[in-house]
């Protein structure tokens, strides 16, 4: 997680209101504006700034440009038993993913699990937002999506997979859900953009230049490295899993076939796919036994002996702690994103969100 400068902090409510207004002005209907804002708010609260409100200018542009349908007609086709297909009508990705997970949870009620494959969707931001929606309803949730090629294969020297995220969330009794949200690349591409804006070097082994060589200069990045460093075949394999679930299973475009996220063509739909799954723990074991097992597991994990100076954390612990701090102190916005907000405000006649503690934008 990389925070923007501490002085540039805003209330979640102010950013959410600005986001909804901007997306509506760009042509989004209320459900689309709400879903996109909910996804970005999730990421900004949990410290995933690369997928937070930093994405708002892009989402507004692609709705304005016609790539994304701001007023989609979502159509579900029920398959065998606990399976459904959603044709999202080129909707904003969060609009499709939240709707698909809601249907997956519904299916998991009587069947124990529900799986929804999504056709004709678009960039959906942080995959953990949709897995978490299931966990908050008491279900185990999984979400996956592929994206345009930007990640080399292990020992590869050209772009092949997208960052192809995988996310899983598990309810944990009275505590916060166990939450794993990971790109199958070493880092997400939006992290490169964030580091450019903040003027910081990338960590070693995260990205490559045009020849596939490691680089720490965010401005020299031509592709990302797969997760795993010298064992990058593992990350490449996980990326393949996301590719199969989201593209092959839905008949949508493979990563090398998807138009680049950044354009220049912002009018042609990208024909992306995604996949969500919900599982009801009580279909496998008594709910109380499951809760007890999760509590024992997480208690033992967090009590495990750490290296000197280290801290053992469960997936999601760092993010939940970050969310508590940001709920208290406000959400950070980097200078480039703030400047883009100003452009949006001027274009649509909106007020720029006020910074916390300043009374002025």
Lowest mean pLDDT among 97-106, 108-117, 198-207: 198-207
pLDDT at 230: 86
Residues 314, 91: Cα–Cα separation, whole Å: 34
pLDDT at 360: 47
Q: Is residue 206 part of a domain?
A: no
Q: What is the mean pLDDT of residues 259-287?
A: 97
pLDDT at 4: 45
Q: What is the mean pLDDT of residues 329-356?
A: 94
Three-class secondary structure of residue 66 per DSSP: coil
Higher confidence at residue 8 or residue 259?
A: 259
Average pLDDT of every residue of the chain: 94
Helices 189-198, 335-348: crossing angle, 10 deg rounding: 100
Q: Is the pLDDT of residue 3 over 70?
A: no
* Cα separation of the two ends of the chain: 25
pLDDT at 7: 52
% of residues, the chain, pLDDT over 90: 89
pLDDT at 308: 96
Radius of gyration of the chain (CA): 20
Tokens of 287: 């709910």
pLDDT tens, 228-249? 988 999 999 999 999 999 999 9
Enter the pTM of the model.
Answer: 0.93
Q: Is the pLDDT of residue 46 over 50?
A: yes
% of residues, the chain, pLDDT over 70: 97
Quote the number of domains for the chain.
1
Confidence band, pLDDT 50/70/90 cuts, at residue 358: low
Q: Is residue 240 part of a domain?
A: no
- CA-nearest of 5, 2, 6, 25 to 341 is 25
Q: What is the mean pLDDT of residues 295-306?
A: 96
Q: Is residue 28 part of a domain?
A: yes
Q: The domain spanning residue 21 has which CATH number? A: 1.10.1530.10
Q: Is residue 25 part of a domain?
A: yes
Q: Is residue 160 part of a domain?
A: no
Q: Is residue 295 part of a domain?
A: no
Owning domain of residue 28: 1-65+330-361
CB 205 within 8 A of CB 186: yes
Q: Is the pLDDT of residue 340 over 80?
A: yes
């Amino acid at each position: 997680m990389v925070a923007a400068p501490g002085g540039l902090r805003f209330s979640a409510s102010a950013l959410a209101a600005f986001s909804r207004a901007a997306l509506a002005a760009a042509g989004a209907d209320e459900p689309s504006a709400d879903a996109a804002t909910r996804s970005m708010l999730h990421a900004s609260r949990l410290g995933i700034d690369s997928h937070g409100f930093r994405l708002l200018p892009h989402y507004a542009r692609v709705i304005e440009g016609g790539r994304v349908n701001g007023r989609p007609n979502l159509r579900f086709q029920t398959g065998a038993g606990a399976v459904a297909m959603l044709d999202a009508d080129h909707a904003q990705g969060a609009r499709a993913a939240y709707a698909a997970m809601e249907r997956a949870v519904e299916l998991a009620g009587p069947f124990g699990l529900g799986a929804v494959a999504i056709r004709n969707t678009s960039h959906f931001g942080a995959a953990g937002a949709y897995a978490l929606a299931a966990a908050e309803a008491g279900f185990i949730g999984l979400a996956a999506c592929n994206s345009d090629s930007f990640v080399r294969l292990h020992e590869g020297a050209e772009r092949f997979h997208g960052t192809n995220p995988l996310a899983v969330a598990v309810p944990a009794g009275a505590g916060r859900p166990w939450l794993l949200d990971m790109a199958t690349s070493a880092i997400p591409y939006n992290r490169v953009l964030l580091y450019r804006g903040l003027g910081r070097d990338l960590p070693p082994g995260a990205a490559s230049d045009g020849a596939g060589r490691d680089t720490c200069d965010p401005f020299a990045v031509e592709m990302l490295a797969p997760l795993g460093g010298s064992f990058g075949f593992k990350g490449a394999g996980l990326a393949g899993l996301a590719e199969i679930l989201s593209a092959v299973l839905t008949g949508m475009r493979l990563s090398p076939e998807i138009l680049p996220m950044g354009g220049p063509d912002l009018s042609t739909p990208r024909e992306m796919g995604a996949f969500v799954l919900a599982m009801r723990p009580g279909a496998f074991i008594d709910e109380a036994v499951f809760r007890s097992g999760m509590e024992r597991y997480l208690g033992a994990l967090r009590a495990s002996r750490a290296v000197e100076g280290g801290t053992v954390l469960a997936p999601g612990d760092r993010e939940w702690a970050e969310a508590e701090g940001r709920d208290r102190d406000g959400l950070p916005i980097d200078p480039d994103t703030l400047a883009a907000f100003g452009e949006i405000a001027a274009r649509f006649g909106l007020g720029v969100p006020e910074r916390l503690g300043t009374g002025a934008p």
